Chains A and B, each alone.
Chain A
Amino acid sequence: MRPLPETPLASLWRPALMITLLLWLLTGLAYPLLTTAVAHVLFPYQAQGSLLRKEGKVVGSRLIGQAFTSPRYFHPRPSATSPESYNAAQSSGSNLGPTNARLIQAVQERVRQYRQENGLGDGVPVPVDAVTASGSGLDPDISLANTQLQAARVAKARGIPLERVRQLIREHIRPRQFGLLGEPRVNVLELNLALDGLR
């Protein structure tokens, strides 16, 4: 075995310091700033958060869910953010475990409320997305089953034909990406914006 030349450990200080500073400048500053510049040239809309505007004012982001309580709007999934639901400055899930009584009680209460709001009988099963809090607390989507059960309430509150609302839902179904990835879903904010746009 060939012996390696003995080099003093002190000779490591300079390269260690220099590479720390160099990589800090390159990866901590130059890289994110360059990416920001390129993103703003290529995809300015997405780079700034995919914001939706109505009459010039920002009404939200198409990617971020928001709270709806009026019967005239489709309701999103429950959200566990605090202090209020759909707080987009503090994302959070409930982090309740599967055997936590607080989780079961919360779901039971949401089931009761959902049935009541939508005029469903006691035994009717409620789509699971309508009664469980999402991971981020900002989930923008609901399931097709969930929209179908809410459609009658929305139509009645707005005094428009049920078929018109169902038609709107069909137009807003987002299928699996490339027909393969993810799950079919409906974006609540976009659907509600479209409802407001009906005349």
Chain B
Amino acid sequence: MKTKIIISLCLITILSALFIGAADKTPIAFADGKLPDYIEFKIPDGWPKPPINIFAKNKLSEQGFQLGKKLFYDTRLSVDGNISCANCHQQFAAFATYDHDFSHGLNDQHTTRNAPALFNLAWMTRYHWDGGVNHIEVQPLSPLTSPMEMGETLEHVLAKLKKDSAYPKMFKAAFGTEEINSQRMLKALAQFTGSIVSSNSKYDKVLRGEAKFTYSEENGYKLFKEKCAGCHKEPLFTDNNFRNNGLEINTVLNDYGRMKITGDPKDSLKFKVPSLRNVAVSFPYMHDGRFQSLGGVIEHYRNGIVTTQPTLDPLLVNKFTITNAQKYELIYFLNTLTDTTVTKNPRFAK
């Protein structure tokens, strides 16, 4: 009996001590006791853990996600009120720009690189084709302020949001007070874009035993593992590395990729390996959108690689021998990577 009382007393002390510790960490911003509805970010079964937890200092919540989504689709983020993030990142194209080598920015200007698809961003540590952006939260600063894209200033955007009738309330619901600042805006956008996960394609279903490949898809998968998986590593279908895949340089753009960021000649002509998930809907391909079709891409690996570039990836030094039949089987397999939980999910739609 006595022992039981002692144990209970101890437990109370321990729990209260823990509570004091926990209370210290609770953001004071939520003093009125109305915490947002926090969401757990789920890592698909069997997937690697993201290299950093992008939500560690930006706790994912339903209110934060909804605020981020509103911002993502809001054209007022651009100086002329015509361009939102979604203009170049269209859901039906897995958040790339459908059928455009370069996207349209302010005053009918073109960007100089193909808009990348947006999904599984939580597994990336470097963003953009050249990896110049080192955190998901600071990525939007680039298109927002680029004179070729949205052409705005942070000051103006924040002023517009503050004048809006809905935003102050949404910022309060997500972050505790009505204060609108750049950090909160960027964190909310990261909650939305970071939540887009592609892990439910036919390929995934086959791996989970919920579906079966056709004969051609199966052959294509075998060929993929043999020829492509060195860079397009499963399950993300990218190793998130920077490589030179032997494209002839476009002498108008003279885009040397990663070297622009690191200043290192060893990084000349290297670009980020894109994921092949949703590849069938995110054409055209490559950093400058030079290939319209998957057939064109495979043709490049068969016959188009410029082998004289000193930084050419060692995995590409020997030409790919792929028969015409294999080429089509490979395309059949790549089509199984389209994931409608990204492209058609109302949760990510406007």
Q: Are chains A and B native binding partners rather than an unrelated pairing?
A: no
